[in-house]
Structure 1
Amino acid sequence: MKNILKTYLYYLIMLVIVGIVLLGLYFTYVWNQDQPQNHDQSQHQDQSQNQDQSQNQDKYQNFSQLKSDTEKNSDWQRNIKKTNNKDILITAIHGGGIEPGTSELAKIISKKGDFNLYSFEGLLKSNNKQLHITSTRFDDSKLKEMSNKSKESISIHGYQSDENAVYIGGRDKKMADSIKKELEKEGFNVEESPNRIDGSSNNNFINKNDSGSGVQLEISTSIRKSFFKKDNLDRKTRENTSKYRQSIYDFAEAVTKGIHSQT
């Protein structure tokens, strides 16, 4: 009889212990569900949402839509230069009045390094932003043709900010590091790009060349203004090279040196 009571008591104690453990696990689970979302996950979601919002804000989702709704050489123009050096392609797909200063810089880099050039330039009197097509959707056949024949693509972009910063990204980390070092030698503040503008997407045209990688530069409004006298980004100033400051040439020279050191 005593042995039976001991056995019952043993199992009763074990059940109580198991119950306590299960209750502890349950309350731990409930507590975790009530906690704020992990910062990295939240940041990633915010960046993804920002990227989706940027794409959704574009009036045109691809080049065909833009081309059918606008007039070439009146609303926009291409600027294409082909050299004997087919390996390097310099691009500014948001040039002219879309992201002012980017196509002007791209042309100088192309000239200094004797690189191929593709720029798409907004010519509207106002609201050139409506001609913006994000890099993952910019599918002009002329650009595709040049990209397919290139080993390296360097894409020049602008972002709206008063901060003194250049963001650099892309899959070609060695080339990005090389350009970053040369820009820093000239006194430019260069930082790693946030995920949403880092140029790493498979759909980004800079990754559709022979090497499957490239470099994307995002230049703040403040720095682009500093390229021109009186910090003026209007079309009249940008089309007059006598209004250019030395800083735009220093920037272009640094990018060119960075490219040459890796090719």
Structure 2
Amino acid sequence: MCGMSLINRRTVLTAALGAAAISSTPLVTGLGAAKAHATSEGDVYDSNTDLYKKLSGQEGIQFSRRYRRHELLDNERGERHPYHRTTIMALHGGGIEKGTSELCLGIAGYRPDTLAALFPGEPVYDYWMFEGLRLPSMNLGSNRELHVTAKHCDDHVALSMAASSLNVLSLHGCTAEQAGVRGGQDPKVVVVGGLNAAFKKLLHEELGKHFKTVDGDDFPDLAGVHPENPCNRTMLGKGGQLELSTELRESFFGKDTLDGRAGSTTEEFKAFAGACRKAIIRLESRADQVIL
């Protein structure tokens, strides 16, 4: 790979909440993450821009944006060089749909705690995420209130990354009940959606070797088929989306808290990330992944 650039939009905690109050508040809980909410019903903010404006100055306190774009260079006439194909996204990370931030980094190829290679020698992918950082002690409301439904995401960096990618894999959280699980059934399940039928098939095949998958076509609120969903705003006009049940996401971490998840990932976490990466590698070998 060429050189890489890391962008972390977390800002220094300001005096807005009081320096003393902040310094005395340990980040030891992920509380405030409500039930996953796949539709716009109940959203407080109309779009990401609406949220950014109304919470101006609160980035790094109430929410954060993190992304990574890997540098590519083509300065040779008459030759073709590797080009970017796939971006991983978590639109509702942090305390909103817990575990999706860490999984976004894992699938992209990075350890969530140190950003060291999770799969040494293997490809890495661009990523973008929005995270809720609210803690109960802040008395600012729940992280759920920071949820902006996917089709209303208008973050310019997120959309530009999707638009310049052939593929996007977007990660979300749902409840087992939303995914069709009934009493006595295994609540650890992932709903596979998005408009890219080939990608969906590959995700079913790779994830299905170890995890329970269900088709998004059976769950309209979780299907990820809206054309304005960033997962489908790619160069090909289609992408993939995964909705993971709460119980499945909980199995990925030894310490399931806002600050504890990154450093306590389990073998299940790596297995899930690895399965997604195998699906991506297979997808990128297809004929429709070639740009002339």
Tell me the TM-score normalized by structure 1. 0.75
8 Å CA contact retained: 2:39, 2:221: no
Q: Does structure 1 conserve the Cα–Cα contact (< 8 Å) formed by 2:38 and 2:149?
A: no
Report deviation, 1:53. 9.3
Report the counterpart of residue 106 of structure 2 in structure 1: 108
Q: Which has the higher helix share?
A: 1
- Cα deviations by residue, 1:207-238 (Å, 9 ceiling, x for unpaired): 11100000010000000000011xx4211211
Q: Distance in 2 between matches of 1:65 and 1:180?
A: 36
User: Does the 8 Å CA contact 2:38/2:221 hold for their aligned counterparts?
Assistant: no
Cα displacement (A) at 1:87: 1.3
Aligned-residue sequence identity (percent) comes to: 29
Of 82, 90, 100, the residue aligned with 1:92 is 90
1:262–1:53 distance in 2 versus 1, CA, 3 Å:
closer
The number of residues matched between the two structures is: 207
1:174 to 184, 187, 198: 198
Which letter does structure 2 place at the counterpart of 1:133? V
**1:218-233 correspondence to structure 2 within 5 Å:** 218-229=243-254, 232-233=255-256
2:59 aligns with 72
Give ranges in structure 1 of 5+ residues lacking alignment: 1-51
* Alignment-derived partner of residue 81 in structure 1: 68
1:145 to partner: Cα distance: 1.2
Partner of 1:245: 266
Q: Is residue 120 from structure 1 mapped to residue 144 from structure 2 by the alignment? A: no
> Which structure: larger Rg?
1
Match of 1:55, SS state, is coil
Which of structure 1's runs of 4+ aligned residues deviate more than 6 A?
none
Alignment-derived partner of residue 27 in structure 1: none
Task: Give unpaired runs (5+ residues) of structure 2.
Answer: 1-36, 73-82, 110-118, 137-141, 178-186, 285-292
Instruction: Give the alignment's TM-score, normalised by structure 2.
Output: 0.68
205, 214, 237: which one pairs with 2:230? 205
Tell me the distance in 2 between the aligned counterparts of 1:160 and 1:189.
14
Deviation at 1:56, TM superposition (A): 2.7
**Which letter does structure 2 place at the counterpart of 1:121?**
E
